[in-house]
């Protein structure tokens, strides 16, 4: 497809379990971002990958959150030992230039 894709679209998990969220950016886009949107809140920046540079992890809320980007393309956001406050929509975006991002449809995570 031509756009950013994310999987799964919905994920329900129990508190304490680990989850992995996947993002396939647009081909050729060197920058990849992860955000989350909690209910009634704006977009919260989590992590940023640019090419082969070390990622900017400044937005990750705790050490339970980690992300990797393999081969400069697909990215996986992992949340370990999920908590109820992790429930949110997790959005991935990619860009070819620094300032115009294309977003995926998001993964809605519900932690019971």
Partner 1 sequence: DQQVKQNSPSLSVQEGRISILNCDYTNSMFDYFLWYKKYPAEGPTFLISISSIKDKNEDGRFTVFLNKSAKHLSLHIVPSQPGDSAVYFCAASDNYGQNFVFGPGTRLSVLP
- Number of helical H runs and strand E runs in the chain: 0, 10
Residue 74 as a binder of partner 1 (CB under 8 A): the answer is no
Shortest spacing between CB 23 and partner 1, in angstroms = 11
- Which pair of tokens denotes residue 50? 């640019």
For partner 1, the binding residue among 45, 62, 68, 81 (CB under 8 A) is 45
Q: Which stretch binds partner 1 (CB under 8 A): 11-19, 67-75, 76-84, 95-103?
A: 95-103
Binding of residue 35 to partner 1 (CB under 8 A): yes
Pick from 50, 66, 76, 80: which binds partner 1 (CB under 8 A)? 50
Asked if 34 and 110 count as a contact pair (C-beta separation under 8 A), the reply is no
| 91 is an interface residue for partner 1 by CB under 8 A | yes
Query: Residue 73 burial by CB count (10 A; 0-12/13-18/19+): exposed, middle or buried?
Result: middle
Among 1, 28, 42, 51, binds partner 1 (CB under 8 A): 42
Of 79 and 106, which CB lies nearer to partner 1 in the complex structure? Answer: 106
Cβ–Cβ under 8 Å, residues 10 and 88: no
Smallest Cα–Cα separation from 62: which of 75, 44, 50, 49?
44
């Amino acid at each position: 497809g031509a756009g950013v894709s994310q999987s799964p679209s919905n994920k329900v998990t129990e508190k304490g379990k680990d989850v992995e969220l996947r993002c396939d950016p647009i081909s050729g886009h060197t920058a990849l971002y992860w955000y989350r949107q909690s209910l009634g809140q704006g977009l919260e920046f989590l992590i940023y990958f640019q090419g082969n540079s070390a990622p900017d992890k400044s937005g990750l809320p705790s050490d339970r959150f980690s992300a990797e980007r393999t081969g400069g393309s697909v990215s996986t956001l992992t949340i370990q030992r999920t908590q109820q406050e992790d429930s949110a929509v997790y959005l991935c975006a990619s860009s070819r230039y620094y300032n115009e991002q294309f977003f995926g449809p998001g993964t809605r995570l519900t932690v019971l």
